[in-house]
Amino acid sequence: MSTTTQVKIHNFSAGPCILPQEVLRKAAESMIDYDGTGLSIIEMSHRSKPFEAVMAKAQSLVKELLGAPDNYQVVFLGGGASLGFHIVPLNYMKPGGKAAYANTGEWAGRAVKESKLVGETVVVASSEDKNFNYIPKGFDIPADADYFHFTSNNTIFGTQFKQFPKSAVPLICDMSSDIFSRPVNVADFALIYGGAQKNMGPAGATVYLMDPDQLGKTGRKLSPVLDLKNHASKDSMYNTPPVYAVYVSMLTMQWMKDQGGVVEMERRNAAKSKLLYDTIDRLPMFKGTTAIEDRSVMNPTFVMTDAAMEAAFDAQWKAAGVSGIRGHRSVGGYRASMYNALPIESVQVLVDVMEDFAKKNG
């Protein structure tokens, strides 16, 4: 009888993201039998006591991990952050008012487009002039704006806000790709939202963490399915929530808590990004694509100085079990997404490949 050895896969996918193995095992078990109920987690009613407990724990963990004020509310919805791009202006922009935005990449740009469908939208900061390879600084936020929106981390272009903007108007942030990767002063924000599929769980759920005192002030009549205040009042149960995605997100957040919380995630992420960026900067064969001071901890991006070498390099990292480091189709090059669950050992494998390739071909 023949046997095969499974190659360890080092998952640098930009999203859906890598998840902890223990989370995946428990999630797989729950697909057959959740907690001894004899039912799959995806079979049981979302209004059953077992799932209500899952939702309550997921909501509680969001607030605990990020240190949110007691009065803040958590909602889990479907539709991804892309639906959130439209939900935000509907819930925070007054009719006849205006919103201010920073445009730092593809997803920030989509948020701008959705806001323009609702009302006046001004882009007060943009890095489009240099193909989004830096984070704009020193910009002014209009005092008469209903809110200011920005994207904390830009997955495609590999940039990240290292300091959050100070704003006299409500601050709203799409943190899809770096939520739970570092401490955040939640009280500074009217709303933090993001898709689960980067750092928290599988695709299908979007988390909204919000100050309820900032909701319901526009006077705008909304469809209940687009009204954050309505969803909060119904504990995310106005309609059927994305049950499995919420459950796996809850498991992942519990894993984060058990590992030491967001502070420990920040420490690990800093070590991983330093290891890779130091290698990129040390080897002339590779070159980073973003301003050094704005480099993303989550999504380092780089290119080869000789593009003709890419095919050979691709073959070598694939043979080493590395997966998902090709850059976004719109920019090319390479992108090594290093979310919370990616161990530093996987980064070391990629670094070893880069060093070996440079030694043999440099």
Residues serving a catalytic function are 107, 174, 198
* Relative orientation angle of helices 310-319 and 344-361, to the nearest 10 degrees: 140
Strands (E), 216-295: 286-288
Burial class for 194, CB neighbours closer than 10 Å (0-12, 13-18, 19+): buried
> Distance between alpha carbon 231 and the CA centroid of its chain, in Å?
22
Contacts of 282 (CB under 8 A, 6+ apart): none
In angstroms, the CA 57 to CA 52 distance is 9
Tell me if residue 313 falls in helix, strand or coil: helix
List, in order, residues 6 or more apart from 322 with CB less than 8 Å away.
10, 12, 346, 349, 350, 353
User: What's the CA dihedral at 352, 18, 252, 82 to 10 degrees?
Assistant: 130
CA distance 54 to 46: 10
Write out the two tokens for 316.
């070598």
